[in-house]
Structure 1
Amino acid sequence: MANRSFTVIVHKQEDMYITECPEIGTADQGDIEQAIAGLTQATRLYLEELPVPEASPRYVTSIEVGYA
């Protein structure tokens, strides 16, 4: 089995966490550990059935926006 790293986006929504893998399109929710474990499993299952998408570099940064 080959290993590959993917981007994971985590955000909190009310009392749970949402995790997303933008390269694959998989997502999960729950407490933080559950959401990451569920996302890992969903991504693994996806990759067992479909080919690995073409890789492109990902850059993560932040922006500062002023608003009233």
Structure 2
Amino acid sequence: MIAESWQDVRGTLHHDSTYPTCLVAEENEPASGDRHRVELQVLHRDTGAQPQHIAVHVHCLD
């Protein structure tokens, strides 16, 4: 996941290298399986081969 920014449940915006808390997983896991509610803003780009989907903003809802 590539995100330019993320917003925590309190509404605080993070423009740093921290990882969205609602997506943090257990050690050695690629992503959270806790089924948190998340709002994503995503760019869809067609490169002619494989389409790319890039998360540009993550909003943790719970």
- TM-score over 0.5 for the alignment? no
Higher percent of residues as helix:
1
- Which structure ranks higher in relative contact order (CA pairs < 8 Å, sequence separation ≥ 6)? 2
TM interval, shorter chain, is under 0.3
**TM-score (norm: length of structure 2):** 0.22
